[in-house]
Amino acid sequence: MENGQDAKHLLDMTAAELAAEIESLGGKKFRAKQILEWVWQRSVVDFSEMKNLPATLRGDLRGRLAILTSEIETRYDAEDGVVKLLLRLGDGEYIETVLIPAGRRVTACLSTQVGCAMGCEFCASGLEGLRRNLTAGEILEQIIQLRQATGQHITNVVLMGTGEPLANYDAAVAAIRAMIDPKRGGISARRITLSTVGLPKGIAKLADEDLPITLAISLHAPNDALRAKIMPTPSRYPLADILDAAEEFFHSRGREITLEYTLLAGLNDSLDCAAQLAGLAGKLRCNVNLIRYNPVEQLSYAPPPAGTMQRFAETLRSAGVNVNIRQSRGSTVKAACGQLRIGK
């Protein structure tokens, strides 16, 4: 990055804040719109390439603002088309971000923290603990990096990378607002999903935001006792409180909830667990995503046989629950659900 360490991060700014910054340099406010078009519509991140800006302003901006503060350390290409980027942040920390193409639907899976404090026993993201929060700009520039690296237009975003978005609430919400801003990301709010382990106060706060996004709750257990075993930190919040907050979100935003459930062989994949999960799902307007566990080298958990997953799904369907078995993508480069982490 050619900017100094004290340079402001352009992606942390609203359009109005950028316009004010340009005015402070003697430029015209409308230049902000031009810059945002270069960045978001053309993925241009070098002011010197923004030819419709005055040369003097381009020079002033190079010393004042940074568009990207991260660099691509390594790119991983999976056989199924998934692309994972290991990004080195400005302070030397690392995060991973993933692009998942599926026909016309191209999804960016973004990280919101360096590491994770939730400590879910089966997930790689928390193996090194939490290092720090990402800024809104650091969340957003993952989109720019993925677009530049692949040349693909991103249609959907999931906040499902490393970190708990609601534990970095302000930055996550600011990033979402930038994504849906027609002057910036221009992505439909209905194509954005925020995934949380279930922080009731954060869910309730999100319900008050004017953001018709999809809320996904990483449940992974149908009762508090089992959840405490595999998700010790999130289990501080009873499932009843989480579901109450989710119901409030649904009534406030009118968006069906997604319940995410990773099946772990011999642990949470019994038909009794399926029946209990059906009971929870029946209390909400929701869909259930069943996820086959993606192995992590340092962990001893294993995925269940395909037949077990099918029987689990059929138990839910017979109880009237909408069920989807999520297709695993990117596992050959450790880019699948539960495999992302920090470090090289």
d(CA 262, CA 284) in angstroms, rounded, equals 19
Is residue 120 among the annotated active site residues? no
Sign of the torsion formed by the C-alpha atoms of 78, 341, 165 and 8:
negative
Q: Catalytic residue among 37, 71, 96, 128, which? A: 96
**Residue of 116, 273, 286, 337 marked catalytic:** 337
Q: For this structure, is 337 an active site residue?
A: yes
Q: How far apart are alpha carbons 23 and 100 in whole angstroms?
A: 39
Half-sphere exposure of 320 (CA within 13 A, CB side): 7
Active-site residue list: 96, 337
